[in-house]
Amino acid sequence: NAGVMQNPRHLVRRRGQEARLRCSPMKGHSHVYWYRQLPEEGLKFMVYLQKENIIDESGMPKERFSAEFPKEGPSILRIQQVVRGDSAAYFCASSPGGVDEKLFFGSGTQLSVL
């Protein structure tokens, strides 16, 4: 009964490199959400996806950030040309249904940009 799986747990990148964060939802869950948490701040919504569809990306920065949830495989959050301000904890959550459903979170990926 695996929960939401995120990897890597820790990711270190130098400025200008690319970061790829992966998330496998709980079995039976088709809704995936990405949230970002800056140090000493709350969780900020980034993007909501279902299989092969981006449902809501209103929280995504306009440039350098993209997300996908392919038919097969995990959801990927991709950050191109990382900057120091991208350093944060990135949490993925899944739910069996839509926005009124409880969210189950992965352990997060801590991204550090040097």
Binding positions for other proteins, rule: CB under 8 A: 33, 35, 41-45, 48, 55-56, 58-59, 89, 91, 98-100, 102-108, 110
Q: Is residue 5 a contact partner of residue 105, using CB atoms and an 8 Å limit?
A: no
Shortest Cβ 5–other proteins spacing (Å): 12
- As to burial, measured by CB atoms within 10 angstroms (0-12 exposed, 13-18 middle, 19+ buried), residue 1 is exposed
- Our CB check for other proteins shows the closer of 33 and 65 to be 33
Q: Taking the complex as a whole, how short is the minimal distance between the CB of residue 109 and other proteins, in angstroms?
A: 11
Residue 54 or 76: which CB sits closer to other proteins? 54
Paired sense of beta strands 109-113 and 10-13, if any: parallel
CB of 15 or CB of 99, closer to other proteins: 99
Dist CA 90 CA 75 (whole Å): 13
Nearer CB in complex with other proteins: 49/79: 49
Nearest distance from C-beta of residue 79 to other proteins, angstroms? 19
CA of 82: how far to CAs of 14, 29, 36, 51, in Å? 7, 30, 15, 26
